[in-house]
């Protein structure tokens, strides 16, 4: 079962005239990746900007004719299942008044990125968003191969052939322009063998131009970008080559050389028999108008948007066409074929151009097992529709693959959103933590300064009473703590002798340290005593944990010591306060004293360690 | 003669059995050292709304509790049944339906601040786990809809009840024509052939 | 449903019709050879098959008429009556109906049956068949070959498994397998049973292996043992190997080379 | 004993083996290796038991065959089980190579071999042991992969899972009976 023999052959438009649709009563334009810059009720002129691109993948929308904006809101789009999307309705006034078009006079001076952005502003669309991908244009890597894709990929398509027959000179001009700006090492126009008239029209032009004509003979999905690149690009070129649809290239030529935004395209209206019509239609024209122009009525026929294999049914003839509407198929209404169970004939696998196993993929896609579908390489499916066409059971293979790919895309988006949320949450936690530490540091510094002052005042050996301390035993405890601190301070040089380079500095530091320690111990003891006097605190462990996180991550030795002491004291305090609340004063005082002692000792120990 | 042949065949069978056992043992023990810690892998599955509906203070604490085996996998309503399936697959446990006491599952929503009523108290800003609310004291606040996870943690602290949840609009209406997988592939160096 | 406009393959019903059509010359020769009893057998087997199929469909709560219109049950009946020309009519009806109910409808209708009903029905009928040396039926075989070639030309025959079988038979000619080629059962089973997708592996390589394995098993049994009834032996081999089809799929089916 | 009974017995034995497989998270991934391992183990047991029987017969002819054969088959099964337990206990358990199952396989698949009509010479018995082990492995592998395929059949709800597999086992046994009856 070879593919070329079973697909209907391409029929050349030949000498058929290119029709022009009359001005429709209403135009429905979609705003994908574009934000509207007109208001309801506003009168717009032909070529006037209606919406600006607001993302990398959107293009601007221009008014196809003059008229009034009637509505801006969700409209059904010419896509599978006709999803609602924001669009605008333009009611033509029949005058067709146009803005004057300033042509780009110094276009040869444009850079690739400038060209890409200019095309985006002119509403010229390629296969995925703007004709030239912005991300690619911004990289500005030298282009090895530029393919202009004029292959009529699916059965019943004629629009590109028609365009080449009618506008061969304009296309050649546009290609010359692209070649001049993008400077590809090789510029190729790919066309299929069956498109005889178009080839004839181009042959005469190709002789003295910078581009080559490549006639493709491969079977059906050969017109896909990936397949074309595989067929035409040499191994060394495959990395940096670009494939552009010929309709977009033609529109780009009009836009850059004549300043004319893209407002129309050629559409084939075919009855899937021999008869077909090609017409130039304004973007946003309702499908019904195109059918009327071709002499068909939309009531008696089922509508298919697209070619014979990838086309999808349109539920409604009022939907407006868009830049990808290359073909409209009209069929007599028939009862839909019912899907039968898979009989494992294996035809889908043998015809698949990507060498996938569509029956396995379908099984997993229909059961919503996306991970399995990915394992069976759903991502490699080019959605060519051949498997659906050869399936004897009429299984909706292509539909389910389309749906599953979309779900996969959605799942990826959700995963990205989740990753972003995780990052933001973690950063927030980090920020809170940092703020807390900085606050604690500031507080500690202030406490240390005050304590130093106090210590200077209390430099006399008579350990005078703390003004705020009330109980005598508390004072005694503090005094004991201070005495111990002083003792340790005296012992310190013996513990760590001649380690410091400058003994004088060490002595000064030690003095200061002792004073600070004493003050710290006092403060801690006081605070602890007050806390302990309170009734049982319920959230003691939590506080302890909070304080634990205030690790001495400070670079200054002094602050480290202070914090260590403080947090030890607090931990002790917390432990104390979590113990039964009915402690008498004596016990509390003892605990406080012990705590203060421990804190002082620890502080001294820490200090010696850090001195080392 | 047959005895020798029998012995040779026996040895062959034993050797083959040894090979099968060895390869299965490798399959049984996948290289766990290359994997990130279990809590991280669980956290990667969780939806990161940080809503606390599971009873933990965020997704990571819940993931850690799951990794320690201290909680059940059916406590995350935003993750949906799909999330439970993924967790069950990762943790080699059975699928569990949602816990009876778990909050009901809701469609994804984003918070919206009624700008006329907002008094600028900053309480919602402090409550937002992903910093998706902008504003400062006495100034009107606003929600970054792209960053909002729909956790509803900002609803409770608001003193004037000016925050409401609106259904998120990012359904797959963004059907991009032949979304640019191929285009990006085609211009990446050395990707195709 | 947005399925494509172009349908490149015939529907299931049309496939089965064409398979029946390819059997017409063989049916004609059978009628000429056996006379009116063959016609009676054909008619009663068809009636029993249709009855069993509609019973099964009703039991599975499926629409009966669209199911019958697919024509698979009829094809099974015709194949069985061609395979069992000398069986008693009740036996033929019984094994046709039984095979369709047990191997086709119980497993869930067309495409789902793991084991081909024709092979199963032949095996069910085997114990009651009159024993005797098989006789070569050259005209019938030639008619079947012609029908098979026509199917092949129409693109309706999945040829890998029959090819594997025939290759083995041809290679084994020195062992004395030549008389098998004159057996109509071989051609029937190869062309209409082994080419069925649901009871064979789905990959071309798996089908080739399936056909070769069936050929080797069948030839070894037919040449090594004393009961050289090729049809029943091949049917038993096919049933045994149909159960290995998932195994062959597992071994040969892969997501394919990454592009 | 004849082949018409022996071959379906193997199918039933394989079905039993499949039903006794541990059903944990990795059972699906290990189904095929488990089938191959059990088939190889059965081959080892059959070869070992047959070889020991030949040795015993030559050393002391005239022993009662049924008794000696069953003792030797059981001994070879337990020997293998012990070796596996010592060398690769965890893997063997995950693959379902438990000693009761090994013993069952060794006795049910091994003993009838000595009473089959073809087991006249040493070479023939060796051949029979090999073929029966190969067939047993094939059957095990079939049962390992069949459930996956059966999932896609539109079986009635009551038949889902094990009953459907039992049905398949019956059909396979029917086919094997048809083939085996021709061998005898």
Domain residues of chain C, as ranges?
13-128, 159-251
B181 within some domain? no
B1-20 pLDDT per residue, tens:
788 999 999 999 999 999 99
Domain membership of residue B77 (yes or no) is yes
Same domain, A264 and A378: no
Binned at pLDDT 50, 70 and 90, residue A568 comes out as low
In D, which residues are within 8 Å of B10 by CB distance?
44, 47-48, 51
User: Residue A444: its pLDDT value, please?
Assistant: 95
**Mean pLDDT, chain A, whole residue set:** 78
Question: What is the C-alpha R_g of chain D?
Answer: 17
Interface touch C4/A337, C-beta < 8 Å: no
For residue B118, give the DSSP letter: -
Cross-chain Cβ contact B17/D44 below 8 Å: yes
Contact list in C for residue D32 (CB cut-off 8 A) is: 247, 250
Give dist(CA B89, CA B87) in Å, integer.
5
Copy the structure tokens of residue A152. Answer: 């009529």
A562 with A587, same domain: the answer is yes
Mean pLDDT of chain D: 89
Q: Which residue has the higher pLDDT, B9 or D124?
A: B9
Q: Say if residue A254 is in the same domain as residue A366.
A: no
Q: What number of other Cβ atoms are within 10 A of residue C255's Cβ? A: 16
Residue A341 with chain C: CB contacts under 8 Å: 108-112
> Which chain A residues are closer than 8 Å to B45 by Cβ?
none
Known binding-site residues of A equal: 342, 345, 348, 352, 381, 384, 387, 391
Which of these three, A332, A360, A388, is where a domain ends?
Answer: A332
Taking only the tens place, the pLDDT of each residue in A372-421 is 899 999 988 888 889 999 999 888 898 889 888 888 888 888 888 889 99
Nearest to D97 by CA among D45, D173, D170: D45
What pLDDT shows up at residue D146?
93
Q: Is B24 on the interface with D (CB under 8 A)?
A: yes
Report CA-CA distances (Å) from D138 to C235, C245, C247: 18, 11, 9
Mean pLDDT of B35-56: 86
Residues of chain A numbered 236-255 and touching chain B (CB < 8 Å): 238-243
As to burial, measured by CB atoms within 10 angstroms (0-12 exposed, 13-18 middle, 19+ buried), residue C61 is: exposed
Q: Is the pLDDT of residue A554 over 50?
A: no
Q: CA torsion sign, C108 to C109 to C110 to C114?
A: positive
Is B156 inside any structural domain?
Answer: yes
Determine, for residues C112 and D153 on separate chains, whether the beta-carbon distance falls below 8 Å: yes
Cite the annotated binding site of A for [4Fe-4S] cluster by residue number.
342, 345, 348, 352, 381, 384, 387, 391
**Does residue B16 belong to any structural domain of this protein?**
no
Is A258 an 8 Å CB contact of chain B? Answer: no
Structurally, how many domains does chain B consist of?
2
pLDDT, chain B, mean: 79
> CA of C244 to nearest chain D CA: how many angstroms apart?
5
Statement: residue C206 has pLDDT above 90: yes
Alpha-helical segments (H) within A243-380:
246-258, 287-293, 347-351, 358-366, 370-375
* A567 and A593 belong to one structural domain: yes
Place of tokens 């009740």: C90
Q: Which tens digit of pLDDT belongs to each residue from A293-322?
A: 888 887 778 888 888 888 888 888 888 998
Tokens of A245: 């649809």
Task: Please list every residue in chain D whose beta carbon sits closer than 8 Å to the beta carbon of residue C237.
Answer: 175, 179
* Whether A422 and B59 lie within 8 Å, measured CB to CB: yes
- Residues from chain D that touch B9, judged by Cβ atoms under 8 A, are 43, 47, 126, 130
Per-residue pLDDT, A472: 57
Which residues of B lie inside 8 Å of A (Cβ-Cβ)?
43, 46-50, 58-60, 129-132, 147, 149, 170, 172-193
pLDDT at C73: 93
Tell me: pLDDT of B32 over 80. Answer: no
**Strand, helix or coil for residue A27:** strand
Is the residue at A266 inside a domain?
A: yes
Residues of A in contact with C198 (CB under 8 A): 343-344
Cβ separation of C155 and A1 shorter than 8 Å? yes
A112 touches chain B (CB under 8 A): no
pLDDT tens digit sequence for A415-448: 888 899 999 999 999 999 999 999 999 999 999 9
The tens digit of pLDDT for each residue in D132-170 reads 999 999 999 999 999 989 988 888 888 888 899 999 999
Give tens-digit pLDDT for A447-479.
999 999 998 888 765 544 444 445 556 666 666
Residues of B in contact with D41 (CB under 8 A): 17
**Shared-domain flag, residues A359 and A388:** yes
Asked if A239 and A380 sit in the same domain, the reply is no
**pLDDT single digits (tens) A331-357:** 887 777 778 889 998 999 999 988 899
A306 lies in the same domain as A382: no
Arithmetic mean of pLDDT, A124-131: 84
Note whether C108 contacts D153, CB cutoff 8 Å: yes
The percent of residues in chain A predicted with pLDDT above 70, rounded, is: 73
pLDDT of residue A106: 84
Q: Which domain range does residue B119 map to?
A: 107-168
Binned at pLDDT 50, 70 and 90, residue A589 comes out as: low
Check residues A1 and C168 and name the one with the higher pLDDT: C168
Separation in Å, CA of A151 to nearest CA in chain C: 19
What average pLDDT does this structure show over A205-230?
Answer: 83
Structure tokens, A402: 């389309």
Q: Tokens for C115, please give them.
A: 């084991």
For A254-263, what is the mean pLDDT? 91
Q: Between these two residues, D22 and C35, which has the higher pLDDT value?
A: C35
Q: What is the CATH number of the domain that holds B43?
A: 1.10.15.40
pLDDT at A437: 95
CB-based contact (8 Å) between B11 and chain D? no
For residue A377, give the nearest of C10, C198, C256 by CB distance. Answer: C256
CA distance, residue B9 to nearest chain D CA (Å) = 8
- B178 belongs to a structural domain: no
What is the pLDDT averaged over residues C72-82? Answer: 94
Model confidence at C39, in pLDDT bands (50, 70, 90)? very high
Taking the alpha carbons of C59, C63, C65, C66 in that order, is the dihedral positive or negative?
negative
Residue D36 with chain B: CB contacts under 8 Å? 20
- Nearest Cα residue in chain B from D48: B10
Q: Do C246 and D156 touch (CB under 8 A)?
A: no
**What's the gap in Å between the CA of B40 and the closest CA on chain A?**
11
CA A308, A313, A319, A322 dihedral sign is: negative
CA distances from A240 to A133, A178, A236, B189 (A): 13, 16, 9, 6
- Domain match, A254 and A363 both: no
- Name which of C147, C146, C159 is nearest C167 in CA terms: C159
Instruction: Please state, in angstroms and rounded to a whole number, the distance separating the CA atoms of residues B108 and B149.
Output: 8
Name residues whose C-beta falls within 8 Å of residue C56's C-beta, 6 or more positions apart in sequence. C100, C101, C104, C105, C106, C109
How many domains does chain A contain in total? 3
Mean pLDDT of the residues in chain C: 89
The whole domain housing A481 covers 458-611
CA-based torsion, A306, A311, A312, A316: positive or negative: positive
pLDDT at A577 over 90: no
Does any domain span residue A161? Answer: yes
Q: What is the pLDDT of residue D160?
A: 85
The verdict on a CB contact (< 8 Å) between A354 and C1 is no
Q: Do C227 and D176 touch (CB under 8 A)?
A: no
Banded model confidence at residue C259, pLDDT cuts 50, 70, 90: low
Judgement on whether residues B85 and B122 belong to the same structural domain of the protein: no
Q: What is residue A604's predicted lDDT score, i.e. its pLDDT?
A: 54
> Tens digits of per-residue pLDDT, A48-77?
999 998 777 788 999 999 999 999 988 888
Across residues A84-95, what is the average pLDDT? 88
Please tell me which residue of chain B has the smallest CA distance to D125.
B2
Å from C25 to nearest chain D CA?
31
- Which chain B positions have a beta carbon within 8 Å of D95's beta carbon? 20-21, 24
Q: Cβ C255–A354 below 8 Å, yes or no? A: no
SS percent in chain B: helix, strand, coil, step 5? 40, 5, 55
Q: Is A226 on the interface with B (CB under 8 A)?
A: yes
Phi, psi of C109 (to 5 degrees): 80, -165
Which chains touch A (3+ CB pairs under 8 A)? Answer: B, C
- pLDDT (mean) for C147-165: 92
Query: Is residue A434 situated within a structural domain?
Result: no
Please give the annotated binding residues of B for [4Fe-4S] cluster, written as ranges: 51, 54, 59, 76, 118, 121, 124, 128, 148, 151, 154, 158
When divided into structural domains, chain D yields a total of 1
| Residue of higher predicted confidence among B176 and C203 | C203
At C235 the pLDDT is: 93
Which of A79-93, A574-588, C139-153, D112-126 has the weakest average pLDDT? A574-588
Domain ranges, residue D17: 3-183
**Chain-centroid distance, C-alpha A154:** 32
């Amino acid at each position: 079962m070879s593919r070329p023999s079973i697909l209907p052959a391409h029929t050349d438009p030949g000498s058929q005239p290119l029709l022009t649709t009359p001005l429709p009563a209403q135009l429905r334009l979609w705003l994908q990746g574009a934000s509207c810059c007109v208001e309801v009720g506003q009168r717009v002129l032909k070529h006037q900007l209606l919406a600006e691109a607001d993302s990398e993948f959107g293009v601007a929308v221009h008014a196809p004719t003059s008229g009034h904006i009637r509505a801006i809101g969700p409209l059904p789009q010419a896509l599978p299942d006709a999803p609602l999307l924001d669009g605008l309705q333009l009611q033509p006034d029949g005058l067709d008044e146009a803005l004057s078009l300033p042509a780009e006079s110094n276009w040869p001076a444009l850079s690739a990125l400038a060209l890409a952005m200019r095309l985006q502003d002119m509403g010229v669309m390629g296969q995925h968003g703007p004709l030239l991908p912005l991300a690619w244009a911004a990289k500005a890597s030298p282009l090895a191969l530029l393919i202009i894709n004029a292959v009529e990929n699916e059965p019943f398509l004629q629009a590109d052939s028609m365009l080449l027959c009618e506008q061969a000179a304009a296309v050649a001009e546009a290609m010359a322009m692209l070649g001049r700006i993008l400077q590809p090492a090789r510029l190729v126009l790919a066309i299929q063998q069956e498109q005889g008239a178009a080839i004839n029209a181009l042959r005469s032009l190709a002789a003295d131009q910078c581009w080559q004509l490549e006639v493709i003979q491969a079977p059906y999905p050969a017109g896909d970008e990936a397949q074309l690149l595989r067929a035409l690009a040499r191994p060394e070129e495959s990395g940096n080559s670009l494939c552009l649809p010929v309709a977009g290239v033609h529109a780009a030529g009009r836009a850059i050389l004549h300043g004319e935004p893209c407002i129309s395209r050629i559409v084939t209206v075919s009855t899937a028999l021999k008869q077909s019509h090609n017409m130039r239609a304004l973007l946003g024209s309702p499908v019904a108008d195109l059918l009327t122009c071709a002499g068909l009525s939309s009531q008696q026929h089922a509508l298919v948007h697209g070619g014979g294999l990838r086309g999808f049914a349109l539920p409604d003839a009022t939907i407006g066409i868009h830049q990808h509407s290359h073909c409209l198929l009209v069929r007599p209404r028939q009862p839909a074929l019912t899907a039968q169970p898979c009989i494992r004939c294996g035809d889908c696998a043998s015809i698949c151009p990507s060498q996938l196993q569509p029956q396995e993929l379908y099984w997993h896609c229909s059961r919503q097992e996306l991970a399995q579908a990915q394992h069976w390489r759903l991502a490699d499916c080019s959605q060519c529709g051949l498997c659906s066409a050869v399936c004897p059971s009429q299984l909706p293979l292509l539909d389910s693959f389309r749906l599953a790919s979309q779900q996969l895309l959605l799942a990826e988006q959700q995963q990205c959103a989740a990753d972003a949320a995780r990052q933001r949450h973690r950063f927030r936690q980090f920020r809170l933590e940092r703020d807390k530490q900085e606050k604690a540091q500031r507080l500690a510094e202030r406490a240390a300064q005050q304590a130093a002052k106090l210590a200077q005042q209390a430099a006399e050996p008579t350990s005078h009473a703390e003004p705020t301390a009330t109980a005598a035993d508390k004072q005694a405890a503090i005094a004991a703590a201070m005495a111990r601190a002083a003792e340790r301070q005296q012992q310190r040089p013996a513990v760590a002798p001649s380690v410091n380079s400058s003994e004088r500095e060490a002595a000064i530091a030690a003095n200061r340290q002792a004073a600070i320690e004493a003050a710290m111990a006092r403060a801690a003891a006081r605070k602890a005593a007050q806390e302990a006097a309170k009734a049982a605190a319920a959230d003691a462990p939590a506080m302890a944990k909070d304080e634990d996180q205030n690790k001495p991550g400070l670079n200054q030795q002094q602050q480290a010591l202070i914090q260590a002491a403080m947090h030890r004291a607090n931990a002790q305090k917390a432990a104390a306060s979590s113990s039964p609340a009915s402690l008498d004063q004596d016990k509390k005082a003892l605990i406080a004293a012990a705590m203060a002692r421990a804190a002082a000792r620890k502080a001294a120990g820490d200090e010696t360690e850090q001195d080392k | 003669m047959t005895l020798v042949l029998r012995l040779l065949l026996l040895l062959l069978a034993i050797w083959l059995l040894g090979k099968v056992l060895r390869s299965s043992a490798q399959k049984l023990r996948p290289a766990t050292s290359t994997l990130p810690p279990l809590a991280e892998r669980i956290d990667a599955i969780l939806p990161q709304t940080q809503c606390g509906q599971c009873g933990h203070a965020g997704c990571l604490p819940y993931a850690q509790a799951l990794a320690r085996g201290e909680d059940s996998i059916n406590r995350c309503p935003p993750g949906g049944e799909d999330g439970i399936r993924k967790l069950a697959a990762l943790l080699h446990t059975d699928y569990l339906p949602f816990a009876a006491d778990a909050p009901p599952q809701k469609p994804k929503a984003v918070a919206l601040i009624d700008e006329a009523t907002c008094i600028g108290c900053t309480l919602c800003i402090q409550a937002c786990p992903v910093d998706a609310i902008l504003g400062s004291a006495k100034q009107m606040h606003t929600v970054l809809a792209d960053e909002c996870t729909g956790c509803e943690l900002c609803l409770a602290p608001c003193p004037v009840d000016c925050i409401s949840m609106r259904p998120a609009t990012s359904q797959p209406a963004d059907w991009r024509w032949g979304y640019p997988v191929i285009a990006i592939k085609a211009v990446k160096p050395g990707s195709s052939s | 449903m947005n399925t494509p406009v172009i349908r490149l393959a015939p529907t299931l019903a049309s496939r089965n019709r064409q398979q029946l059509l390819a059997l017409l010359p063989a049916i004609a020769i059978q009628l000429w050879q056996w006379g009116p009893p063959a016609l009676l057998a054909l008619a009663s087997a068809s009636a029993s098959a249709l009855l069993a199929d509609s019973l099964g469909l009703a039991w599975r709560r499926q629409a009966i008429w669209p199911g019958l219109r697919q024509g698979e049950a009829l094809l099974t009946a015709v194949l069985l009556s061609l395979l069992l020309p000398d069986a008693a009519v009740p036996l033929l009806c019984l094994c046709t109906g039984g095979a369709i109910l047990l191997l086709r409808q119980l497993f869930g209708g067309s495409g789902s049956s793991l084991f081909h009903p024709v092979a199963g029905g032949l095996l069910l009928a085997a114990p009651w068949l009159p024993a005797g040396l098989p006789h070569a039926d050259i005209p019938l075989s030639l008619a079947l070959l012609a029908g098979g070639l026509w199917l092949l030309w129409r693109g309706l025959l999945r040829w890998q498994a029959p090819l594997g079988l025939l290759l083995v038979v041809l290679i084994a000619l020195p062992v004395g397998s030549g008389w098998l080629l004159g057996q109509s059962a071989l051609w029937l089973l190869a062309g209409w049973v082994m080419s069925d997708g649901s009871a064979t592996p789905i990959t071309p390589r798996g089908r080739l292996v399936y056909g070769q394995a069936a050929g080797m098993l069948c030839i070894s049994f037919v040449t090594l043992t004393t009961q050289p009834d090729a049809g029943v032996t091949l049917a038993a081999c096919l049933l045994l190997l149909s159960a290995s089809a998932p195994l062959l799929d597992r071994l040969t089916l892969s997501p394919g080379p990454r592009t | 004993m004849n082949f018409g009974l022996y071959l379906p017995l193997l199918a039933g034995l394989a079905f039993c083996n499949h039903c006794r497989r541990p059903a944990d998270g990795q059972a699906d991934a290990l189904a095929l290796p488990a089938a191959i391992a059990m088939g190889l183990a059965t081959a080892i047991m059959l070869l070992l038991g047959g070889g020991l029987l030949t040795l015993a017969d030559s050393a002391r002819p005239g022993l009662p065959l049924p008794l000696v054969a069953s003792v030797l088959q059981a001994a070879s099964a337990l020997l293998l089980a012990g070796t596996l337990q010592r060398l690769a206990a965890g893997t063997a358990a995950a693959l379902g190579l438990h000693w009761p199952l090994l013993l069952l396989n060794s006795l049910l698949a091994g003993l009838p071999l000595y009473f089959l009509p073809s087991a006249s010479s040493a070479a023939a018995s060796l051949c029979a042991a090999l073929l029966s082990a190969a067939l047993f492995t094939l059957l095990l592998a079939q049962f390992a992969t069949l459930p996956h395929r059966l999932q896609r059949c539109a079986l009635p709800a009551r038949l889902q899972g094990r009953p459907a597999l039992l049905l398949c086992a019956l059909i396979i046994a029917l086919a094997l009976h048809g083939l085996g009856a021709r061998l005898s």
